Structure 1
């Protein structure tokens, strides 16, 4: 048999194993509210090839490929346990088992590693929490996709309504079409139907009421059977407590803003300061996409090396706030054609760092350039550290952070030598460290951080909503390698 024949046989074997993993992963998700991960990447509702690619991706961050032959025994062990709602990372299970020298069986080690989610320790499955989207633009539609995707277990979050301004004939049909197809993020995974008579969009069996209103104070959500809901404001029209309080109508308990909050509105970056949210806090902000991209790695660097000062330069994809062609705009430069120019503009991300990282004493400055790409941006974080280090040390540290730290859902890591912006469309992380571009000299470190400013940010928003709703389940194993 030739080398090519060996490779093909090996591929077919791994395909067969991955195929057998799908029903197990699906059953755990539907029946027990368990989300199976691989190095923080969900394997729920993934195809055979996607599962294999996710395993192969591990070589970029862990240094070697992870095979389904290694992870399948851990998945099978999970089926024998009395599991409660949780997230279980097969990649971490395999890594910690490999480092363990006690000679335990896979079944015994797995039972010990996820003990916090089994038997008397497991948490109860919670009733679905109603969610309302106010606005249905780029972020609103991506958040909708994520909420629909996460409703698969029948628990957690449930998108009940979308509030928009009336747009004329066939408004709901057009909005459903924009949810169904996206020029950047592709087709919606599932089915969408529209009931114009009842003003309802049904997506993967989820009935979503479309409410038409020009003013938040004109809506009584209890009329639609909505109770104690979390409202996500995607419009950015109101950013202070006074304006956002207008959303606190009958049926709405909390308001989450998908833009930087002003005044006393807390700016939350999941993974960094989400645990500071008070139970009785009704209004909060998820900050900006750039703030979410830079704050987790900034915290990681400060924790390990100390940061004295820094500057962030963002090369940001253009947005709907800019003009397609030259035309009047209230802001300087943004009136010039977005697809034809690089546009220098301001960013509030640097100043927002203080809200998310109040213990960071370093002064962080920032600026931004909008460029003619529709999605995925890069932040160049230039830091003066409190001590000297080496490129190899920072490289290995950030790789480990992306694998084993509490920030592993926020920080990703790539060693791909020819990585470009479009490679990161659809990334669920807040930012991705580009290992090849990393520069370190003495006490100066320059990090290049890719981020999907649409989808990655939307994932951060949903994580915050899960946290405040009480349906953010713990991840196992919880200990680092």
Structure 2
């Protein structure tokens, strides 16, 4: 048999194993609210090839490829346990098992590693928490996709309604079509139907009421059977507590803003300061996409090396706030054609660092350039560190942070020498460290951080909503602190 045949046979064998994993992953998710991960990447509702690619990607992080033959025994062991709602990383189980020297079987090791999610320790499954989207633009539709994807067994979060201004004839049909098809993020994974008479969109069995209103004061959500809901404001029209509090209508318990909050509104970056949210906080902000991209790696660097000062330059994709062609705009440069120009503009991300990371006393400055791409941005973070180091040390540290730390859902790591912006469309991380572009000279470090400013940010929003709703399930094995 030739080498080519050997490679093909190996591929077919791995395909067969991945195929056998799909029903186990699906059953754990539907029946027990267990999300199976490989190095922080969900395997729920993934195809055979996607499962294999996710395993192969581990080489970018851990330095060697992870095989489905290694993770299958841990998945099989999980199906025999009395599991409660949780997230379980079979990639990390396989890695930590290799390093364990006690001679335990896979079944014994797995049971021990996930003990906090089994038997008397497991979390009880909760009733679904209602969620309302106020606004249905770029972020609103991506958040909707994520909420529908995460419905799982029907527990957790449940998208109940969308509030928009009526746009004209066939408004609901056009909005459903925008949810179904996206020029950047592709087709919706599932089925969507519209009931115009009931003003309802049904997406993968989720009935979503479309409520037409020009102002928050016009809506009584209890009239639609919505109670104790979390409302996600995607419009950015209101940024301060007084404005956002108008959403606290009958049926709404909390308001989450998908833009930087002003005044005393807490700016939350999940993974960094989400544990500062108080149970009685009714209005919070998820800050900006750029703040979410820079704060986790900034915290990681400050924790290990100390940061004396820094500057962030964001090269940002254009947004709906800019004009397609030159026209009047209240801002100085955003009126110039977005697809034809690089546009210097301001960013509030640097000043927002103080809100999300108050313990960092170092001054951080920032500026931004909008460029003619529709999605994915890069933040260039230049830091003066508290001690000298080397490029190799920084890269090893950040690789480990992305793999095993509490920030592993926020920080990703890539070593591909030919990576470009479009490679990161659909990334679920807040930012991705580009190892090849990283520069270190003594106590100066420059990090290049890619981020999907639409989808990655939307994932961060969902994590915050899961946290405040009480359905952010623990991850096993527990990340290293």
TM-score normalised by L of structure 1: 1.00
Q: Secondary structure at the match of 2:4?
A: helix
Gap change, CA 1:479 and 1:270, over 3 Å in 2: closer
Q: Secondary structure at the match of 2:338?
A: coil
- CA deviation string 1:445-481 (max 9, x = no partner): 0000000000000000000000000000000000539
**In the alignment, is residue 390 of structure 1 matched against residue 380 of structure 2?**
no
Q: In the alignment, which residue of structure 2 is the partner of 1:83?
A: 83
Offset of residue 153 of structure 1:
1.7
Q: Distance in 2 between matches of 1:153 and 1:39?
A: 23
Offset of residue 94 of structure 1:
0.7
Q: Distance in 2 between matches of 1:480 and 1:81?
A: 24
Q: Secondary structure at the match of 2:320?
A: coil
- CA deviation string 1:202-222 (max 9, x = no partner): 000000000000010110000
Offset of residue 128 of structure 1:
0.3
Q: 2:71·2:91 contact (CA, 8 Å) conserved in 1?
A: yes
Q: Distance in 1 between matches of 2:425 and 2:209?
A: 29
Q: Distance in 2 between matches of 1:322 and 1:480?
A: 43
- CA deviation string 1:283-332 (max 9, x = no partner): 00000000000000000000000000000000000000000000000001
Q: 2:128·2:157 contact (CA, 8 Å) conserved in 1?
A: yes
Offset of residue 126 of structure 1:
0.7
Q: Distance in 2 between matches of 1:479 and 1:449?
A: 22
- CA deviation string 1:108-164 (max 9, x = no partner): 000000000000100100110000000000000000000000002211000000000
Q: Secondary structure at the match of 1:187?
A: coil
Q: Secondary structure at the match of 2:222?
A: helix
Q: Secondary structure at the match of 1:409?
A: coil
Q: Distance in 2 between matches of 1:470 and 1:253?
A: 13
Q: Secondary structure at the match of 1:417?
A: coil
- CA deviation string 1:404-451 (max 9, x = no partner): 000000000000010000000000000000000000000000000000
Q: Distance in 2 between matches of 1:469 and 1:268?
A: 15
Q: 2:228·2:253 contact (CA, 8 Å) conserved in 1?
A: yes
Unaligned runs of 5+ in 1: none
Q: Secondary structure at the match of 2:334?
A: coil
Offset of residue 333 of structure 1:
0.3
Q: 2:273·2:357 contact (CA, 8 Å) conserved in 1?
A: yes
Q: 2:33·2:152 contact (CA, 8 Å) conserved in 1?
A: no
Q: In the alignment, which residue of structure 1 is the partner of 2:248?
A: 248
Unaligned runs of 5+ in 2: none
- CA deviation string 1:321-358 (max 9, x = no partner): 00000000000100000000000000000000000000
Q: Secondary structure at the match of 2:270?
A: coil
- CA deviation string 1:223-257 (max 9, x = no partner): 00000000000000000000000000000000000
What's the Cα RMSD here? 0.6
Q: Distance in 2 between matches of 1:334 and 1:189?
A: 34
Q: Distance in 2 between matches of 1:470 and 1:140?
A: 21
Q: In the alignment, which residue of structure 1 is the partner of 2:427?
A: 427
**In the alignment, is residue 161 of structure 1 matched against residue 161 of structure 2?**
yes
Q: Distance in 2 between matches of 1:480 and 1:377?
A: 29
Q: Secondary structure at the match of 1:77?
A: helix
Q: 2:406·2:480 contact (CA, 8 Å) conserved in 1?
A: no
Q: 2:406·2:479 contact (CA, 8 Å) conserved in 1?
A: no
- CA deviation string 1:359-404 (max 9, x = no partner): 0011000000000000000000000000000000000000000000
- The 5 A counterparts of 1:460-471 are 460-471=460-471
Q: Distance in 2 between matches of 1:276 and 1:314?
A: 27
Q: Distance in 1 between matches of 2:122 and 2:171?
A: 45
Q: Distance in 2 between matches of 1:126 and 1:358?
A: 34
Offset of residue 276 of structure 1:
0.2
Which moves more between the two structures, 139-148 or 471-480? Answer: 471-480
Q: Secondary structure at the match of 2:193?
A: strand
Kindly report structure 1 stretches of 4+ aligned residues shifted beyond 4 Å: none
Q: Distance in 2 between matches of 1:246 and 1:378?
A: 35
- CA deviation string 1:175-194 (max 9, x = no partner): 00000000000000000000
Q: In the alignment, which residue of structure 2 is the partner of 1:342?
A: 342
Q: Secondary structure at the match of 2:339?
A: coil
Q: In the alignment, which residue of structure 1 is the partner of 2:102?
A: 102
TM-score normalised by L of structure 2: 1.00
Offset of residue 90 of structure 1:
0.6
Offset of residue 5 of structure 1:
0.3
Offset of residue 97 of structure 1:
0.5
Q: Secondary structure at the match of 1:320?
A: coil
Q: Distance in 2 between matches of 1:300 and 1:466?
A: 23
- CA deviation string 1:1-24 (max 9, x = no partner): 000000000000000000000000
Q: Distance in 2 between matches of 1:116 and 1:151?
A: 23
Q: In the alignment, which residue of structure 2 is the partner of 1:405?
A: 405
